Chain A
Amino acid sequence: MKIFFKKIYQTRKVFAILLAFIVFLIFIWYFFGQYLYKTKASVDKVKVSMGSTGISIAQNKTFLVGVNLVTEETTKKISAATFFLKYDSDGKDLIDIDPSAQTNSLSVDGYFDEVLIQDLGRQDDAKIAQVTYLKKQSDNNLKNSVVIFFPFMAKQKQGETVVSIIESKSQVVGPIQDYLFTIESTNNLLSKIIIQNDSFCETNNQCGTNASCQNNTCVCNSGYYNCDGNWDNGCESTQICPNPNNTPTPTPTQPSRGSVSLNLKLKFQGVMREPSNANQRTMKVRIKVAGDNLSSPVSVNADFTLTNNRNSDTDALIWNGTVNLPAQVIPGWKYYLLIKGPKHIQKKICDNTPSETTAGSYRCQGGRTITFSSGQNNLDFSKIYLLAGDLPVNGAQDGVVDSLDTSYIRNNLGKTDPTVVSIADLNLDGKVDTQDWSMVLYALSVKTDEE
């Protein structure tokens, strides 16, 4: 009997040790798993979104693509990130990563102390780069929301390309090494980049001295001339250039290549009188040609100048412009045009002389096309309106008339300051007023660029 009890005591002893060990293991597992250390299996999320879905930039200029990082839980902080970027797909060569960018310019408030930029060359017909951001300061200075920038440089060639984040390879790191967030994208992680001509601008600063930015084009101030064609130093000469690159009143683009050129007449909604500001007598218009042999539309920008002509006393003034189409546009083939003014909705036109009964009601329908002949082609689009409403609020149009456009006009009613006027003065009367407001509301009925 005594031996029996002794055995029970011994069994209890083993059981107690086992119990203590299990409890200890459970505690260690729970404590470290939840509070101290996380691995790739972490479920904490960071929301990643592009700051802008579209950026327009002049040739040979550097630019930044902004990205927002916000952790799902405010207590989870960001200490580092590495992003793989893909750009210039399909063999394009329009932009390069800019390894010379200043570190403190690559995150808001210079949050990251060190940024490593690596050009990984071309893979699968697209360029790849890796950008790594590190914050070396103490944990107390870490934030859960950070804005970072990828530095790029536009090359000489004009065109469109896309910068995208390779989500599967990119990582955002928490406050300790190997603590990785799960990346959750709130929109497509890509930004369209449009490389414009040398004189393209969004702010006056981009035009150098003695020049200003009018309708996304650098224009010299009166009495100054840009003779070297470089806008970084602005309009450096007070003497008329032997071969002027820019004058206070730009002249229409002259044909220089390709065998098809168009002499176009356009009419913009609301422009009933000559603008008081001479710079507003020229408007930069984007013309796209699509159809027959073109897999995607080809795009050309042209300056249109205001005339004193109109179709009737109550009609808007007519603008003239000449555009030389790229060599891909072949005489005798069938095409249609997509025309977009600097504050306007894109219009699809497939008739030589389209007309309409109410403003903006013309539609290209029924598979109609335009056939160009070699040399000059005169196309009169002055019997239809190009509706205003897609404002370049953040420096670029987004192809939609929405609450941002209406709000911008509402918030600036009565203002005459040049920057606001260049964005929201639709009737070119030198101020933002209720007529501009009415026009943007009217455009809500069309809403989006015609394609």
Chain B
Amino acid sequence: MADSKKNLKIIGFSFFLLIIALFGIFVFKEKKPKESKEELFSSSKLISPTTTNFEEVVVVLKKVDDLTYQILASSYNHDIVGFDFIVEKEDMTDSSILIVSSLLPSFSLYQTKKENFLILTGVKKLNFSQPAVFSETPVVEIKLTKPVKINLKNTWGKYTSKLVDNQNNILIPKIVLK
């Protein structure tokens, strides 16, 4: 009888430990930062030596369908006056053509083709004075003549994907492929 009580005590103690363990895990897990949209933007900022503030921007290459992609930008309250994007066509030998157009009437789009890359430069027109703050804003549309995989690159050679604001701040975005 005494043994049985002792065993019950041991079993009870082990359950107590188990509950403590589960409680501990639960409490500390809660303290871990939650994934939020804001967090998605973090750690993406590259600053020039003269700039010390850390802010965040993100650019998304979104596949609309097999022949259509869109580039969406979030500028985190910066008023954007220019941008550069590097679009890579994965298959160099592929003969498909990329047709790009600006989705914003306030921006002109210039393009240069180098090897299997398309360098896009967006320039805000002079006759538009309204601030251009992007928030998952579709800025560029890319049409393909046949399905081919394309990427958005941060850098290639001398080129960098970036947004430039009305204070000449260079904002290097986190690039997300969707």
* Interface set of A (CB-CB < 8 Å, partner B): 6, 9-10, 12-13, 16-17, 19-20, 23-24, 26-27, 30-31, 34-35, 47, 49, 51-52, 64, 66, 68, 70-75, 108-109, 144-145, 147, 149, 186-187, 393-394, 398-400, 402-404, 406-408, 410-411, 413, 434, 437, 441, 444-445, 447-449
Q: Which residues of B contact A27 (CB under 8 A)?
A: 17, 20-21, 24-25
- Decide: B7 and A71 in contact? CB cutoff 8 A: no
- Decide: B17 and A20 in contact? CB cutoff 8 A: yes
Q: Whole-angstrom distance between the alpha carbons of A400 and B166 in the complex?
A: 20
Q: Whole-angstrom distance between the alpha carbons of A418 and B168 in the complex?
A: 17
- Decide: A404 and B168 in contact? CB cutoff 8 A: yes
Q: Residue B81 contacts which of A35, A51, A71, A411 (CB distance < 8 angstroms)?
A: A411
Q: Which of B13, B46, B84 has the most CB of A within 10 A?
A: B46
In whole Å, how far is A251's beta carbon from the nearest beta carbon of chain B?
33
Q: Which residues of B contact A35 (CB under 8 A)?
A: 28, 31
- Decide: B110 and A444 in contact? CB cutoff 8 A: yes
From known contacts A20-B17, A108-B52, A147-B52, infer whether A400 and B159 are also in contact, taking CB-CB under 8 Å: yes
Q: Which residues of B contact A13 (CB under 8 A)?
A: 3, 6-7, 10
Q: Is B39 located at the chain interface by the 8 A CB criterion?
A: yes
- Decide: A411 and B158 in contact? CB cutoff 8 A: no
C-beta contact mask, B6-27 vs A, less than 8 Å → 1, else 0? 1100110110011011001100
- Decide: B14 and A187 in contact? CB cutoff 8 A: no
Q: Residue B14 contacts which of A20, A47, A109, A144 (CB distance < 8 angstroms)?
A: A20
Q: Whole-angstrom distance between the alpha carbons of A411 and B166 in the complex?
A: 6
- Decide: A403 and B20 in contact? CB cutoff 8 A: no
Q: Which residues of A contact B25 (CB under 8 A)?
A: 27, 30-31
Q: Which residues of A contact B20 (CB under 8 A)?
A: 27
- Decide: B3 and A393 in contact? CB cutoff 8 A: no
- Decide: A394 and B50 in contact? CB cutoff 8 A: yes
Size range of the chain B interface in the assembly: 35 or more
- Decide: B82 and A410 in contact? CB cutoff 8 A: yes
Q: Which residues of A contact B159 (CB under 8 A)?
A: 400, 402
Chain A interface: which of B87-95, B119-127, B141-149?
B119-127
Q: Which residues of A contact B17 (CB under 8 A)?
A: 20, 23-24, 27
Q: Whole-angstrom distance between the alpha carbons of A101 and B1 in the complex?
A: 79
- Decide: A16 and B11 in contact? CB cutoff 8 A: yes
Q: In the complex, what residue of chain A is closest to B19 when comparing beta carbons?
A: A23
From known contacts A16-B7, A47-B43, A74-B39, infer whether A186 and B121 are also in contact, taking CB-CB under 8 Å: no
Query: Using a Cβ cutoff of 8 Å, how many contacts connect chains A and B?
Result: 157
Q: Which residues of B contact A9 (CB under 8 A)?
A: 3-4, 7
Q: Which of A13, A49, A68, A399 has the most CB of B within 10 A?
A: A68
Q: Is B98 located at the chain interface by the 8 A CB criterion?
A: no
In whole Å, how far is A11's beta carbon from the nearest beta carbon of chain B?
10
Q: Which residues of A contact B33 (CB under 8 A)?
A: 73-75
Q: Which residues of A contact B154 (CB under 8 A)?
A: 186-187
In whole Å, how far is A62's beta carbon from the nearest beta carbon of chain B?
14
In whole Å, how far is B24's beta carbon from the nearest beta carbon of chain A?
6
Q: Whole-angstrom distance between the alpha carbons of A403 and B164 in the complex?
A: 7
C-beta contact mask, B109-136 vs A, less than 8 Å → 1, else 0? 0101010000101111010000000000
In whole Å, how far is A191's beta carbon from the nearest beta carbon of chain B?
10
- Decide: B123 and A403 in contact? CB cutoff 8 A: yes
Q: Whole-angstrom distance between the alpha carbons of A72 and B42 in the complex?
A: 7
Q: Residue B119 contacts which of A144, A145, A447 (CB distance < 8 angstroms)?
A: A447
Q: Which residues of B contact A393 (CB under 8 A)?
A: 168
Q: In the complex, what residue of chain A is closest to B164 when comparing beta carbons?
A: A407
Q: In the complex, what residue of chain B is closest to A73 when comparing beta carbons?
A: B33
In whole Å, how far is A447's beta carbon from the nearest beta carbon of chain B?
4
Q: Which residues of A contact B42 (CB under 8 A)?
A: 70, 72-74
- Decide: A394 and B48 in contact? CB cutoff 8 A: yes
- Decide: A411 and B43 in contact? CB cutoff 8 A: no
21 interchain pairs, CB-CB under 8 A: A12-B11, A16-B11, A17-B14, A20-B13, A20-B14, A24-B17, A31-B28, A34-B28, A35-B28, A51-B49, A147-B47, A147-B52, A402-B121, A404-B168, A406-B82, A407-B164, A410-B81, A410-B123, A411-B166, A444-B121, A447-B112
- Decide: A403 and B24 in contact? CB cutoff 8 A: no
Q: Which residues of A contact B163 (CB under 8 A)?
A: 403
Q: Which residues of B contact A437 (CB under 8 A)?
A: 126
- Decide: A17 and B28 in contact? CB cutoff 8 A: no
Q: In the complex, what residue of chain B is closest to A395 when comparing beta carbons?
A: B50
In whole Å, how far is A4's beta carbon from the nearest beta carbon of chain B?
14
C-beta contact mask, B153-178 vs A, less than 8 Å → 1, else 0? 01100111011111110101000000
Q: Whole-angstrom distance between the alpha carbons of A425 and B63 in the complex?
A: 41
Q: In the complex, what residue of chain B is closest to A45 when comparing beta carbons?
A: B43
Q: Which residues of A contact B24 (CB under 8 A)?
A: 27, 31
C-beta contact mask, B75-112 vs A, less than 8 Å → 1, else 0? 00000011110000000000000000000000000101
- Decide: B46 and A64 in contact? CB cutoff 8 A: no
Q: Is B62 located at the chain interface by the 8 A CB criterion?
A: no
